[in-house]
Amino acid sequence: MATTNPTSGSDIPPTEITTSALDPDHLSTPALQNPIPHISIIAGYRPGILGRTLEMHLDHYSKLNGWGADFEADMAVGLSSLIKRLDEPINEAWSAVMAVPAPSLIPGLPQQQQQQQQRVERTVGVIFINGERPDGEAEGVARLRAFIVDESARGLGVGRKLFAAAMEFVRSVGFRECQLYTLRSSVEAIGMYERGGFREVGEKLAEWYGKEHSAVQFSWLRERDEQGGDQVVQDSKAP
């Protein structure tokens, strides 16, 4: 699935729509075991967005690939830079916030605090668009980065909603192309990208944090999108 490059280069491992576990402390109370969650997609900076993004990625990739401190540090540097530039109109971030009903009554808790406890909110997915290109690269090209969905939000359409919000932004800003990198093993994410108009344009083997991985580059083109997408699929791999 789409990958978020912790830094701008394709040699940095991609991130994808994937999953991580919700804090067990939040799942231990009866009120949160079978709630009906409400998901909101919120654009822009939110306090804690960097920490939560890192937490979800580390939870997933530490188990999947054994990535640890070096991966976390590299990703933190790249995303910190982007977050500082979210005030630029060509950069944006979206958070999927899950609100779960909390207990309606907690014995001994003052009424004011009871009201504050009515809903428990937690970020369960993020996606970023970086519209600024490094020096020397073409303008009008966006990069989709740091796309991830928490395991607790699987099956709720969170990934689809985040992806749709990001691509609506790409279209509205007027980018002519959007690029992303992902792992070949991310079959589910790749399917989402292809259904969204992305086409594979390259692949290479690279060593990330001590292991070799197959990194796949995908590209969305405005011209192809406006022509109906599948009509020019074969052209997407042309040199």
Kindly provide the b/e burial profile for residues 149-175, where b requires at least 16 CB atoms within 10 angstroms of the residue's own CB.
bbebbeebebbebbbebbbebbeeeeb
pLDDT at res. 111: 61
pLDDT at res. 29: 41
- The answer to whether position 129 is within a domain reads yes
Amino acid letter, residue 108: G
Per-residue pLDDT tens for 200-218? 999 999 888 888 899 999 9
- The answer to whether position 58 is within a domain reads yes
What's the Rg (C-alpha) of the chain?
A: 19
- The answer to whether position 56 is within a domain reads yes
pLDDT of residue 239 exceeding 90:
no
Q: What is the pTM of this model?
A: 0.77
- The answer to whether position 14 is within a domain reads no
- The answer to whether position 5 is within a domain reads no
- The answer to whether position 110 is within a domain reads yes
Provide the number of structural domains found in the chain. Answer: 1
Amino acid letter, residue 55: E
Mean pLDDT of 157-172: 97
- The answer to whether position 15 is within a domain reads no
Task: Give the CATH number, domain containing residue 221.
Answer: 3.40.630.30
Mean pLDDT of 111-127: 76
Range of the domain at 88: 24-237
Judged by average pLDDT, the poorest of 27-36, 77-86, 144-153 is 27-36
Those residues whose C-beta lies under 8 Å from the C-beta of residue 110, and which sit 6 or more positions away, are none
More confident residue, 40 or 135: 40
- The answer to whether position 119 is within a domain reads yes
Per-residue pLDDT tens for 32-45? 455 578 899 999 99
The pLDDT confidence band at residue 235, using thresholds 50, 70 and 90, is: very low
Per-residue pLDDT tens for 168-188? 999 999 999 999 999 898 888
pLDDT at res. 100: 78
